[in-house]
Structure 1
C-alpha cells in the first residue's frame, strides 16, 4: 500500500500482508510434517539399537561375573555391587563389573532370566517401549544375539 507524501511522491509501507504470512506458516507446517514423518521411524530404530548395545555390554559383564564367581548373577544389580550371600565374596571383582547399570531407552530397567527360554543358561532383555512382556514392533522384547 502506498501513501502520497508532501511532495507528491508515493511512499511504500514496509511489512508483510496477512496472506503472505499465512502462506509462509503453511509452508513451514508442511516441511515440519515431512521431517517428522522421516525422523520418527529412525528414532524407534535408534532406541532398539541402543538397547541391543546395552544388553551386549551387560552380557559381557555377566560372563566376567560367571568366570570369577562360577555362576551367573541372579540380578542385574549384582554386576555393580556384590550380592548378599555370595559363596566366595573375595572372588567378586573390586569395583564391580559395570560402572553403572543403565535403563533401557524407554526408562525401564533391564531384566535377567535364568535359564533363558531358548535353553541357554541366561538371557538379559528389555521389555521394549511398553515395559510389558511380549509385544510387537517397538513394544517387542529385545535381546542381543
Structure 2
C-alpha cells in the first residue's frame, strides 16, 4: 500500500496556553478568592471578639484570686503577673494583649459601684463604637 505524500512544510505544533486562556483562569481565581474572603472575614472578627471576652474573664478570675490573698484588688493588671506573696506562681503567666495588639484597660473601682472593670477598646482602639469597634468589658459584681 503506498504511503500518502508527506508535505515538506508542516506547521510546527506549539505547546502552551494562549493569552485568552490565561486571562480566563486568572478571572476565575479572582472570583473564587473574593467569595472566600467575603465568607471568612466576618468569622475572624467574631473570633477576635470571643478571644477578648475569654481573656477578660480570665483576668477577672485572677483579680478575685488576688483579692482573696491580699484583701484588696490590685492597682494594675501588672500586679497579676507578679509572684504571689504566699509563694507559688503568679495569678496569670503573662498579661495578654487584646486581639488587636493593645493592652487591656483596668479601672479600680469600676463604674456603677463595681469593684473593678476590665475592658478592651475594640478594633478601633477608641472608647465606644459599634460592631467590631465596640468596647468589650466586664465589671465585677458589687
TM-score normalised to structure 1 length: 0.82
Q: How do 1:92-107 and structure 2 match up within 5 A?
A: 93-107=87-101
Match of 1:15 in 2: 16
TM-score by length of 2: 0.84
RMSD between aligned residues: 2.2
1:123 equivalent to 2:109? Answer no
1:59-118 CA-to-partner distances (Å, cap 9, x unmatched) read: 111110010011111111010126xxxxxx845x53321110010000000111122223
Deviation at 1:143, TM superposition (A): 1.9
1:133 has 2:133 as partner: no
SS at match of 1:12: coil
Aligned to 2:25: 24
Paired position in structure 2 for 1:86: none
Equivalences, count: 134
Preserved CA contact (<8 Å) 1:106 1:129: yes
Matched, 1:39 2:33: no
Residue 138 of structure 1: CA displacement? Answer: 1.0
Q: What's the CA shift for 1:11?
A: 5.2
Q: Highest CA radius of gyration, 1 or 2?
A: 2
> Which residue of structure 1 aligns with residue 103 of structure 2?
109
